[in-house]
Structure 1
Amino acid sequence: MNKKKLIVPLILVLAVALYFVCFYKDKTLKFVPKNADAVVLIDVKKLTGQYISSFIVHPSKWSGSKTKDKKEISLKDSGIRIPDFLQIFHLKDTRFSEWYSVVELKDPQQFSAFLKSHQFISKGKDLFRKDQVFIKIEGKNALIGTSDQAFPAINKLLFQSSEKNTLTADQLINHGVGSISFISGPKIQNFSIELKAYEIEIKNTSETGTLASIIADIQKNNHFLDVELDARNVKHYARLFDKNLADSAQISYFKATADLEQVNDTIISYEYDDNFNEVEKKTFQKIIQPNYVMDLQSPTSEKIWEYFQHKKWINAQDQFTAIPFQPNHIARNNDGLIIKSTRKPIHLSPKLKENYIFIRNSPLLLSSLSTLTPKEKDVLSDLEYIFYGNKAQNYWVKIKAKKGKLPLILRW
């Protein structure tokens, strides 16, 4: 009888414990500085739940990885306190490539050992680096970034300043496993991140039918790269390369098409014979080169030409030197400029009068990226294409993977 009376309280205790472990989330974003202008938020518990459900229905993964290095310390033994929401941010007035995050540590020494087991190199003063990842241990916290430039400022803003950020997860994420948010003063623009079996979607709308039809039209042409952007989209993307480009050149339309090709590159060197006569020596190597054509339009075409000349991007042979892949030729027409590669000219794909960027995966692309690690190449080889589309105020990014035996969450 006494045992039966214990069953109900025991069930209640287990239910409360299950709630806190699986569903309760601390939604305070205490690791986002006040001067952050972009935040990527990952719902760790939702992502974990998605991983577990996928793992259960794919028995081939139950045996675990046979290639894992036994010397590497696992994440669960790393000394990190796993957050409910992983907060990754970009600071205002820093380079686009600079992104940062902060995690709490249960044991800093254990975390230091974890880093060393994963071939992070100590740079002194609790700073570690591996490739383009920097990690700084600050007491019971770890600062992580693609650069270490802002570490002192982040440490001061988050741990030494009395001013605290008041952001919460509910302001940035509604559904999906994550979100990307752009912050401008009190204004926040949110994009959900959804992880599906064979694709990742980043969007601010559920109405993607019109944008999806663009992909079907693009794929008929089978190009490596296909781009079409209006003045507003040109302005957004031009800022990544040159803040003044879109305004100074007054670009109202941009269209580009490109293909990849493997070609033989001739290298000429010189050596001397026994009589000290100079002898030319030719060697050949295979390289990957794009064949491309770009159309830049403006109400005043001379403005683009003058701006490019001011930047010294046009040489005496009318080559556009800002593109490293030579030779090419730049020419003016009534609408603007046309830039073409001259080794093997191609034609622009048909105009769709839409805003999109489409990049198709190619074995030639992977072979040209020599700086990537084998793991990074494996991830890229899984991709089929990347698509960005914009219609009015609706935006959609789709990263499509090749179908396989395992969903994306179990591959990577």
Structure 2
Amino acid sequence: MNQLPNSIEARDIAFQLHSYTDARKHEDNGPLVIEKGDGIYVEDNNGKRYIEGMAGLWSVAVGFGEKRLVEAATRQMEKLPYYHTFSHRTHGPSVELAEKLISMAPVPMSKAYFTNSGSEANDTAIKLIWYRSNALGQPERKKIISRVRGYHGVTIASASLTGLPNNHRSFDLPIANILHTSSPHYHSMKKDGEIETDFAKRCAQDLEDMIRAEGPETIAAFFAEPVMGAGGVVIPPQGYWEAVQPILKKYDILFVADEVICGFGRTGNMFGTQTYNLEPDMMTLSKGISSSYLPMSALLVNEKVYGPMADESHKIGVWGHGYTASGHPVAAAVALENLKIIEERDLVGHVRDISPAFLRRLHSLGGHPLARESRGVGLIGAVEFAHEALSATPGALGGKINMAFQEQGLISRNMGDAMAFCPPLIITEKQVNEMFDIAESGIETIAKAL
């Protein structure tokens, strides 16, 4: 029998498949092993400390090492470590969390359904939309529109909604009935001389043209993030949502707001829906709901969605959908405590207070000779870079900058050649400056090398 590798890095290479990773390159490079975290910082297995500039995966709102969440999980684990919500059964934490989310919703919502990730929440939303169309006697109304550069997950259906090529290549995606309209990224998509409001109107017109070409009676829903996250932190151009929402109402198309990244304070309001005055029929929530301490996500639906679905389940005798861990009591208890912390510490107000310093440093970084554009809102932003020597390989410059950040003590994420910044909501102004000081140094390192 062959001897097993001793180091955690070697064992990882031997046994684990990683998300969003070049598997062969990983065999050569190995992993960064994170062992512990505290506040906005994490530490690797060699004792090196990093600012976690992405809050994990856009998600650790209250920071790492929050003891109240550990204690909430422990209390619930001791009381009821698991139960389900199938077949008329329930438990206290799922009831309390559903009630809490409905009360927090920025527009009237009727019911909450719990899932385990943003992908599952969006996947469930698609199933529910199709179910509703059949319930209404509109079997032809099955097409769903999302946007180029939008990100909605990685299950077969949610990855189809996602408008990024690498989520489709070699996966045989997207599936049928999923369409993609224009990306609202003004900087890269504008025409010569086109001002921002005119670009927004053109995006809205592209959407309406698609609806009319496909047949309004075939379009069931439109999915969109208030601010695009993994597609590069794309901030909607001025007038965009004011132009898009009337079109959805005109053709009676459901609007699903994907709040997986924007929700729970990230944009300076509890929800991105509030930041941009949106009126969705459904909302998908995850990440910040539990600060990702445990897997938890939710789908909120209004009465327009719930009513026909409930009638159809009664006609059939069952709503044939469910996940083993939907509304898991420990995850729900942690989510409830996490939301209490966000409210008690007024982290949404803190984001509004700290945002000017964050955006000032972000846009200052955007003034570097390697930078093409900076964009941000609240406590989320990105700077996009370019250099002629690397222009033939999209993402090559971003990858170099990302590694320079990591070597100097900052964990970020490059989406192509755009570097994202999305720190825990608890970050202080001093720490914001520390983060961007490292970023500036990392960029200078790459600039000199080029």
Which TM-score applies when normalising by structure 2? 0.25
Per residue, is there more helix in 1 or in 2?
2
Could you state the TM-score of these two structures normalised by the residue count of structure 1?
A: 0.26
Q: Report which structure shows greater RCO (CA 8 Å, sep ≥6).
A: 2
Higher strand share: 1
